[in-house]
Amino acid sequence: MEAIDPFIFRLSIFVLAIFVGYYVVWSVTPALHTPLMSVTNAISSVIVVGALLAVGVEASQLTTSGGWTAKLFGFLALIMASVNIFGGFLVTQRMLAMYQKKK
């Protein structure tokens, strides 16, 4: 019996996560969208920590081309997660402002 190829194994987990994420997000009632946005911001902050670790690779570890690609992808992940966090907070504030009484 042969072992499962790691690429196929990871690809199947990725595809399964897409379907689970789709059904979880679309089944949320509108009243829970603001807390869901806050959780998404928390997940993005974990991505920022990982991206900072990838960007902070020391120069001695950059002898191979893999080090430079990790640094590049870490920087791109840092930029995209930061935009997601700040945009999420703006959207959350705007949604919460809709529930406040007019002055």
What pLDDT shows up at residue 101?
78
Residue position matching structure tokens 């974990």: 46
Cβ(92)–Cβ(37) below 8 Å = yes
What pLDDT shows up at residue 34?
67
Q: How far apart are CA 11 and CA 102, in angstroms?
A: 50
Cβ(44)–Cβ(85) below 8 Å = yes
Residue-wise pLDDT for 35-74, tens only, equals: 776 677 777 788 888 778 777 766 555 555 567 777 788 7
What pLDDT shows up at residue 16?
96
Q: How far apart are CA 63 and CA 49, in angstroms?
A: 23
Q: What is the pTM of this model?
A: 0.55
Residue position matching structure tokens 């991206």: 51
